């Protein structure tokens, strides 16, 4: 029987064919496509966001400021959703994904897939921005990594802001983000067309940045907090991104996840459940793949 030797063992040709077929099935599966879309979309979001912050920091305020950073994040959200929305719905944010899952807009089995993709996208974006700005980071303080530079990638409270206040800030901001997203994607409300949805979500982020940016940098995205901290720890900042202010790092992540779910539930209880049609939250036959497109509309697909 024909076969191949792998690590000194004969492998049957049929087994190789099965392995190849399995790989093709995985690559061709909807889950894999959604995984790739969330990875790339999150990466695009954070490239713009981290890039705007790195330019402002390394340029010492000469090449940007608070407003340019706010627009950088908003533009990143918009193009990240444009790129990934037609495949995965363009969550780009574990808090959005959790809220969509809890309210039956996304199946639970997809939650870890989306979270993993968002985490990988965040790590890749962190590494790319670090590489692009490496020379300027080194030149900032004569070849040394400045401790404050780590917060290009991870949020921290403004001096004088307690962890409790920062937690409340991120809870409220994330609830606002997800609650309005639910409104925009409610098919019985006066939401925008699918083509305008990415711009509308970008405006939410811009508004939150302008209104709630000072306390702790309006992270409103766990993927933007956890994996970038891990990257900066590996890149030379050690444990500082995690130990700062008595291990503050957990507060925004938990607040964003809880706030996102609360924002979605508040919208459902106060608005969506009172529509004359059957409400989506209690509809067991609702599409488990609905994400940012609850209005039963999707982004144009170019898959043919």
- Which pLDDT does position 11 carry in this prediction? 55
pTM of the model: 0.83
d(CA 103, CA 101): 5
Closest CA to 225 of 153, 173, 163, 125: 153
- Please give the structure tokens belonging to residue 19: 């392995």
Is the per-residue pLDDT at 32 higher than 60?
A: yes
Residue with tokens 């539930």: 265
**pLDDT tens sequence across 244-282:** 888 899 999 999 999 999 999 999 999 999 887 544 444
Average pLDDT over residues 127-154: 90
* Least reliable range by pLDDT among 120-129, 145-154, 172-181, 191-200: 145-154
3-state secondary structure of 6: strand
Residue extents of the structural domains in the chain: 24-274
- Which pLDDT does position 302 carry in this prediction? 36
Q: Does domain 24-274 have CATH number 3.90.1150.10?
A: no
Is the per-residue pLDDT at 298 higher than 60?
A: no
Task: Give the pLDDT band (50/70/90) at residue 292.
Answer: low
- Which pLDDT does position 275 carry in this prediction? 84
DSSP state of 234: I
Task: Give the pLDDT band (50/70/90) at residue 286.
Answer: very low
d(CA 84, CA 300): 11
Is the per-residue pLDDT at 299 higher than 50?
A: no
- Which pLDDT does position 295 carry in this prediction? 41
- Please give the structure tokens belonging to residue 29: 């599966």
Residue with tokens 């495949």: 87
- Which pLDDT does position 153 carry in this prediction? 92
């Amino acid at each position: 029987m024909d076969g191949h030797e792998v690590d000194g063992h004969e492998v049957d040709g049929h087994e190789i064919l099965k392995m190849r077929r399995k790989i093709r099935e995985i690559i061709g599966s909807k889950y894999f496509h959604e995984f790739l879309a969330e990875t790339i979309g999150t990466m695009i979001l954070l490239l713009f966001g981290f890039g705007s912050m790195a330019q402002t920091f390394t340029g010492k305020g000469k090449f940007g400021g608070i407003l340019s950073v706010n627009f950088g994040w908003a533009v990143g959200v918009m193009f990240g959703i444009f790129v990934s929305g037609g495949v995965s719905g363009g969550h780009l944010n574990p808090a959005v994904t959790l809220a969509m899952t809890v309210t039956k807009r996304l199946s639970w089995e997809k939650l870890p897939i989306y979270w993993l993709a968002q985490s990988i996208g965040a790590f890749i974006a962190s590494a790319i921005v670090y590489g692009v700005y490496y020379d300027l980071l080194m030149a900032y303080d004569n070849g040394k990594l400045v401790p404050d530079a780590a917060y290009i990638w991870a949020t921290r409270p403004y001096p004088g802001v307690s962890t409790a206040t920062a937690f409340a800030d991120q809870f409220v901001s994330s609830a606002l983000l997800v609650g309005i997203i639910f409104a925009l994607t409610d098919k019985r409300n006066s939401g925008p067309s699918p083509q305008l949805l990415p711009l509308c979500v970008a405006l939410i982020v811009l508004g939150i940045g302008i209104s709630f940016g000072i306390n702790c940098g309006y992270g409103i995205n766990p993927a933007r907090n956890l994996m970038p901290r891990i990257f900066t720890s590996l890149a030379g900042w050690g444990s500082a991104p995690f130990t700062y202010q008595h291990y503050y790092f957990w507060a925004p992540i938990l607040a964003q996840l809880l706030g996102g779910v609360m924002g979605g539930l508040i919208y459902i209880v106060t608005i969506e459940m009172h529509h004359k049609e059957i409400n989506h939250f209690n509809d067991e036959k609702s599409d488990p793949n609905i994400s940012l497109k609850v209005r039963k509309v999707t982004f144009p697909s170019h898959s043919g």
